[in-house]
Amino acid sequence: MSDAQAPTLYEWVGGLEVLDRLTVRFYERVRDDAVLAPIFAAMPVDHPHHVALFLAEVLGGPSTYSEQFGGHAHMVARHLSRHL
């Protein structure tokens, strides 16, 4: 990043390490919530990291999520297919 260029939101929040910690903590709290816990009961252990990668990309970070998982459109289609 040059001095003249504003940081991306990804850089501003602290990068992937911070997003990983944030999503892990969020999903820990979800598991403790009586209403949300059943919805996420079958959540894979790596789900928080996938969410962190998605957020990183949306906030202007690396395109790792799209490269590894096919991007937002693929994610939406995958989730919809589970509920149809």
* DSSP state string for 50-82: HHHHHHHHHTT---HHHHHH-HHHHHHHHHHHH
pLDDT at 84: 64
Where do we find the tokens 């959540």?
A: 43
pLDDT in tens, 21-57: 999 999 999 999 999 999 999 999 999 999 999 999 9
pLDDT at 74: 75
CA 52: distance to chain centroid? 3
The pTM of this model reads 0.80
* Separation CA 73–CA 25 (nearest Å): 26
